Amino acid sequence: MKRIFLIGYMGAGKTTIGKQLAGQMNLIFIDLDHHIEARYHRTISELFAEKGEEAFRDIERRMLHEVSMFENVLISTGGGAPCFFDNMEFMNSVGETVYIKVSPPELVNRLDMVRQTRPVLSGRRGNELLTFVTESLEVRKPFYEQASIIFEAEAMLNDSDVSTLVYELEKILLVN
């Protein structure tokens, strides 16, 4: 039985790496945000808007506990999930946690292309976006760094880079 949780900031590559890694390790891939959206028939943005952050974080915690009951899974969490309640402690107690670590400038490069689909980033560009990401990441870092594995995923420009990262992470996970 195996449970792997990928954590990290939005744009770090949790879903991209997670899908390929799950396939290679013969695990079921679950994107926690997509699981929540399917269950509630609402996007994460809609849930935030309708229920507020506190209620959303409670939903997120309950869904995290639900998917953590499955065996042989790789779960990609939302960027904020490790930072609320005892979620980080819980994930560490039931599985292997991997912090997909990426620098703020690289996160900004990745997020700049999708900022219109992320309400919290909408309207932020350039230095303002870099400042936002840097400050947010600084707040989340103490939670992220509780992961059992910290994995640098800076270079992710093409499919070959992703495959290389997945191969390296799989080697680390097989040793642990």
pLDDT tens sequence across 31-82: 999 999 999 999 998 998 899 999 999 999 999 999 999 999 999 999 999 9
Q: Which residues contact 155 (CB under 8 A, 6 or more apart)?
A: 161, 164, 165
pLDDT tens sequence across 14-30: 999 999 999 999 999 99
The burial class, CB within 10 Å (0-12 / 13-18 / 19+), for 142 is exposed
Q: Which of 168, 149, 119, 128 is nearest to 17 (CA)?
A: 168
pLDDT tens sequence across 121-166: 777 888 999 999 999 999 999 999 999 999 999 989 899 999 999 9
* 3-state per-residue secondary structure call for the chain: CCEEEEECCCCCCHHHHHHHHHHHCCCEEEEHHHHHHHHHCCCHHHHHHHHHHHHHHHHHHHHHHHHCCCCCEEEECCCCHHHCCCHHHHHHHHCEEEEEECCHHHHHHHHHCCHHHCCCCCCCCHHHHHHHHHHHHHHHHHHHCCCCEEEECCCCCCHHHHHHHHHHHHHHHHHC
User: 3-161: which CATH number, 3.40.50.1820, 3.30.43.10, 3.40.50.300, 3.40.50.1970?
Assistant: 3.40.50.300
The pLDDT value recorded for residue 123 is: 79
CA 133/CA 105 separation, integer angstroms: 9
CA 160/CA 79 separation, integer angstroms: 25
Residue ranges per structural domain of the chain = 3-161
Residue 113 pLDDT class (50, 70, 90 cuts):
confident
